[in-house]
Amino acid sequence: MSEDPLTSSTFAERARVQLAKPFLREAVPRATDIAVRDLRERFAGHDYDGLRELGREIRARTMADLEDALATLTDALVANGIHVHHAADAAAAREHIRRICRESDATRVVKVKSMATEEIALNPALVADGLEVTETDLGEYVVQLDGDRPSHIIAPIIHKTRAEVRETLSRVAGRELPDDASELTDFARERLRDAFMDADVGISGANFGVAETGTIVLVTNEGNGRMCTSMPRIHIALMGIERVIPTLEDLSVMLPLITGAGTGQLITSYVSMLSGPRGEGEPDGPEAMHVVLLDNGRRALLGTEYQEVLHCIRCGACQNVCPVYRQVGGHAYGWVYGGPIGAVLTPLFLGTEAGGELPQASSLCGACDDICPVKIPLHDLLLQLRRTRVDDGAAPWRERLAAELWAWAWSSPRRYRVVTRIGGGVVRVMAAAGLMSSLGPLGRWARGRTIPTPARRPFHSRGERDV
Amino acid sequence: MSDRTQLWRMAPTELAPHEDALTRFQAELERAGGSSVSVGPGELVGEITATLAAAGAHRIALTADLGDARPVIAQALEIARYDVVDYDAIADDRAAVRDLDATVTGCLAAVAATGSIVTGATGAGRAGALVAPTHVCVVETRRLVDGLASLMRLAPRLGAGSMMALQTGPSRTADIEKTLIVGVHGPKRVHVVLLDGVLAD
């Protein structure tokens, strides 16, 4: 992962690579359809929209005074005996975590799946320090063994076939494992059990941080989150500052939203609510607990037109319904967050230089808005990012010229008529001759689509004659 | 504007008015892949023994939240030739924890609408209900709460200690081609014994 795909290739190039994988184009829609179907099933007879509105209100109220919520959270965490660290950016967060590992003489680290740790590229830094790092979510474990990246927020190996997983795990086993998902899982379970038992430090993200009680909430199905926070002597939770929610009562709204939108479950198998290190008289648990609060570009979004993206609870639902993501998968987006949320977050976090073209990778159909459990107006944010890119002069000159010409031609009825007549005629002739693909940039656009042949007489001129 | 007093209309994690808590709990737990049975105080030990026998478990840990019933259950299991330990006595011994075939725990609460049991670091420990392939949980029916909202209101008074955990059915993953596999890092089998009475001898 030494080369950053975001700066060394374009979205179109990456998408082309992904589109050439037949399994991806079959597996991603299949898997994401199941999640969406289960969501609808679990909420049948319930007012999902009403609950989304409650979720939106909680998030909006919190973001309106995020500093206040964070101060309450910090006080409560400290009162619970938790060490709190503030990280302005990815480097600072890595440094906190490396220091904690160093000071606790750690050699082995186990990890819970966490997008925040992906965001700060934590693993390579820890490995460089000589630490043995093991991802313990089954999918993340396979991703790590392959030197790959997760391609979906919730389902990291959505892009891999069972045969590929078998190949990877067989390599670790040193023997051919059976081609059976259950037996492959059993093998990983035994391997990872060793890792849990031997680890000095468990590192997790945080699905939520409850301010009033100083509680870090982890939502998992496999149980690895709970193992990582039970067995090692140190627990470090890396939490994006926007993941704070004010009260436990708010959790009874946010939990069904994140599990419903994420996996279509009423509740996940495990929900851990962690409020400190091992207490007096408790049989197990870590000696010390640390929370690293990660800013990394989040505070800068407060008070801007993009503030609502901070409402995101990383459920992956927008990826599940996005017609672009469903075809190209997560890797085409080039960084840790894919799909509509990735197309918004990437340019905001990394700058338009690197991720500026991602908002173009959207049909603006709005399916993401309709499913988002906290009603983030993703497609408005995508449009706003496009607008900013054009205003900044970052759009390619050809694109700008085309838009200028378009605006000029269509802003007078006469020019509009002339252009549609000529344009329609050209397209009709070219399409009939099968020459659409030789139309330069228009041809590239036409290659992936069926272009309808324009009518001989435009609709408006037919109207004129009949009047 | 949404009204939180009507949360049950919106969230499937709440109980509808007049809905029977016990029936819902059992249905949701089954849906999540767990099993449950209702027993009277006289049937408790027999039910636990039978479950452990059916699971082929031999080495069993009992957690502190079984309260006064713990020594009674331990004695019965020992007579039936099980290898029985207190979880709190072996929790720091990694090898011993790894060897467990089953754990038997109590709970702080159970959530009817979701089929979840709730354990705390003080009682079952963080991992007592998690580490073994089989988990038997004794739930006194008086500990049933309606839904997540009731649980969250009650949570600060439950005395859970440094961790409170909800668990719903067995551990699961669908990472490999979306095939549902039960029993990853947590138990493969979760059996809830609903006790119509209190945990005491």
Structure confidence at residue B74 as a pLDDT band (50, 70, 90)? very high
Query: How far apart are alpha carbons B60 and B81 in whole angstroms?
Result: 11
Domains in chain B: boundaries? 21-195
pLDDT top residue among A447 and A151: A151
What is the chain B residue with the closest CA to A45?
Answer: B9
Cβ separation of A281 and B12 shorter than 8 Å? no
- Quick one: pLDDT at residue A3? 65
pLDDT digits (tens, 9 = 90+) for A292-331: 999 999 999 999 999 999 999 999 999 999 999 999 999 9
Please choose, from the candidates A230, A397, A270, the residue with its C-alpha nearest in 3D space to the C-alpha of residue B190: A270
Please choose, from the candidates B143, B116, B146, B111, the residue with its C-alpha nearest in 3D space to the C-alpha of residue B18: B146
Cβ separation of A251 and B98 shorter than 8 Å? no
* C-beta separation of A422 from A405 below 8 A: no
- Quick one: pLDDT at residue A425? 84
Sort out which chain A residues have CB atoms less than 8 A from B11's CB and list them. Answer: 46, 51, 252-253, 256
User: Which of A198, A269, A375 is the best residue to mutate to test the B interface, defined by the most B CB atoms within 10 Å of its own CB?
Assistant: A269
Cβ separation of A273 and B164 shorter than 8 Å? yes
- Quick one: pLDDT at residue A433? 77
A21 burial (CB, 10 Å; 0-12 / 13-18 / 19+) is middle
Query: How many residues would you count in chain B?
Result: 201
What is the chain A residue with the closest CA to B186?
Answer: A223
What is the chain A residue with the closest CA to B92?
Answer: A284
Name all contacts of A58-64 with Cβ < 8 Å and 24+ positions apart: A58/A245, A58/A246, A58/A250, A58/A253, A58/A254, A59/A310, A59/A311, A59/A313, A59/A374, A60/A308, A60/A311, A61/A246, A62/A244, A62/A245, A62/A246, A63/A242, A63/A302, A63/A307, A63/A308, A63/A310, A63/A311
pLDDT digits (tens, 9 = 90+) for B143-194: 999 999 999 999 999 999 999 999 999 999 988 988 899 988 999 999 999 9
3.40.50.720, 3.40.50.300, 3.40.190.10, 3.40.50.10420: CATH of A45-299: 3.40.50.10420
Sort out which chain B residues have CB atoms less than 8 A from A270's CB and list them. Answer: 130, 165-168, 171, 186
User: Which of A38, A252, A268 is the best residue to mutate to test the B interface, defined by the most B CB atoms within 10 Å of its own CB?
Assistant: A252
pLDDT digits (tens, 9 = 90+) for A162-205: 999 999 999 999 999 999 999 999 999 999 999 999 999 999 99
Q: How far is B6 from chain A (nearest CA, A)?
A: 10
What is the chain B residue with the closest CA to A155?
Answer: B175
Sort out which chain B residues have CB atoms less than 8 A from A30's CB and list them. Answer: 178
Question: Residue range A333-341: average pLDDT?
Answer: 95
Domains in chain A: boundaries? 45-299, 405-466
Sheet of strand A244-245, all strands in order from the earlier edge strand to the far edge: A244-245, A208-210, A215-220, A270-274, B163-167, B116-120, B109-111, B144-145
pLDDT digits (tens, 9 = 90+) for A20-41: 998 888 889 988 999 999 999 9
Q: Report the percent of chain B where pLDDT is more than 70.
A: 98
Can you list the positions of beta strands (E) in A103-200?
A: 108-111, 132-135
Query: How far apart are alpha carbons B92 and A373 in whole angstroms?
Result: 41
- Quick one: pLDDT at residue A390? 85
Domain made up of B21-195: CATH architecture: 3-Layer(aba) Sandwich (3.40)
Of A30, A193, A251, the CB nearest to B178: A30
- Does residue B199 surpass a pLDDT of 90? no
Averaged pLDDT of chain B: 95
ipTM surpassing 0.90, yes or no? yes
Averaged pLDDT of chain A: 92
Give the count of Cβ contacts less than 8 A between chain A and B: 228
Query: How far apart are alpha carbons A373 and A51 in whole angstroms?
Result: 8
pLDDT top residue among A204 and A6: A204
Of B28, B148, B156, the CB nearest to A252: B148
Q: Report the percent of chain A where pLDDT is more than 90.
A: 78
The helix/strand/coil state of A421 is: helix
Query: Going by C-beta distance under 8 Å and a sequence separation of 6 or more, which residues neighbour residue B32?
Result: A266, A269, B115, B168, B169, B170
pLDDT digits (tens, 9 = 90+) for B36-56: 999 999 999 999 999 999 999
User: Residue B165 belongs to what H/E stretch?
Assistant: strand B163-167
CA A322 to chain CA centroid, nearest Å: 12
Query: How far apart are alpha carbons B135 and B51 in whole angstroms?
Result: 10
Structure confidence at residue A464 as a pLDDT band (50, 70, 90)? low
HSE, side-chain direction, 13 A CA sphere, residue B58: 2
User: Residue A459 belongs to what H/E stretch?
Assistant: helix A459-466
